């Protein structure tokens, strides 16, 4: 998983692994390999630079901890009470989709982008892995893996954003008036490859 560039661990706790409740978001460019085949290296770099700049800005605006960029993907984490973290993550996911729509309208290269967004909430471990003195801070656990898998499912389920029902209910119980909940009227079941149990999910297609 991507290393975290910023984390609010508290004084004296930065080097100690700890468990936390968190909401986790993954966003990724759909069809990036195909796009790369149509661009020169400089064009690919410019595309990725613009993408990461906009995604990082949306995540920062919603109070997320940002993961180090890996290719055309980004991870954002909100540690804290489940309802508030889940709502911030949900709002951030929609902000990312809107940022890409705005960028598509402004760009003139004839290559409109689409992204997939996946979100889940639950327990994570925050800590460092790797060689002593070189390990990077990261978030780990089933919650992170599920969020990443949900993002990948946006391709096969023709959805722009997929959230776990657990995250949805955390928002609905805390802020039932949240207008973004209306995009997810029905819960379904999705299998996660390699995971013993499926996950209840909600999917939205915004156009």
Interatomic CA distance for residues 117 and 63, integer angstroms: 17
Domains of the chain: 18-204 (3.30.70.1230)
Does 198 have pLDDT greater than 80?
Answer: yes
pTM for this prediction? 0.89
- CB atoms near residue 23 (< 10 Å): 34
Q: What is the band of 114 on the pLDDT scale with cuts at 50, 70, 90? A: very high
The reported pLDDT for the residue numbered 11 is 39
pLDDT tens for residues 156-184? 988 999 999 999 999 999 899 999 999 99
Which of 34 and 169 is assigned the larger pLDDT?
169
């Amino acid at each position: 998983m991507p290393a975290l560039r910023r984390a609010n661990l508290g004084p004296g706790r930065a080097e100690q692994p700890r468990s936390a409740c968190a909401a986790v978001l993954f966003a990724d460019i759909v069809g990036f390999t195909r796009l790369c085949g149509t661009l020169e290296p400089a064009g690919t770099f410019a595309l990725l630079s613009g993408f990461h700049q906009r995604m990082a800005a949306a995540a920062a605006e919603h109070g997320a901890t940002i993961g180090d960029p890996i290719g055309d993907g980004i991870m954002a984490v909100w540690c804290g009470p489940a309802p508030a973290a889940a709502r911030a993550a949900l709002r951030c996911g929609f902000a990312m989709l809107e940022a890409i729509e705005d960028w598509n309208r402004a760009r003139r290269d004839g290559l409109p982008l689409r992204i997939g967004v996946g979100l889940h909430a639950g327990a994570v471990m925050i800590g460092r892995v790797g060689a002593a003195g070189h390990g990077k801070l990261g978030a780990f656990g089933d919650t992170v893996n599920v969020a990443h898998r949900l993002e990948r499912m946006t391709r096969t389920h023709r959805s722009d954003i997929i959230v776990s029902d657990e995250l949805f209910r955390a928002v609905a119980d805390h802020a039932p008036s949240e207008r973004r909940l209306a995009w997810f009227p029905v819960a379904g079941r999705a299998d996660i490859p390699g995971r013993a149990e499926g996950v209840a999910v909600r999917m939205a297609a915004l156009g």
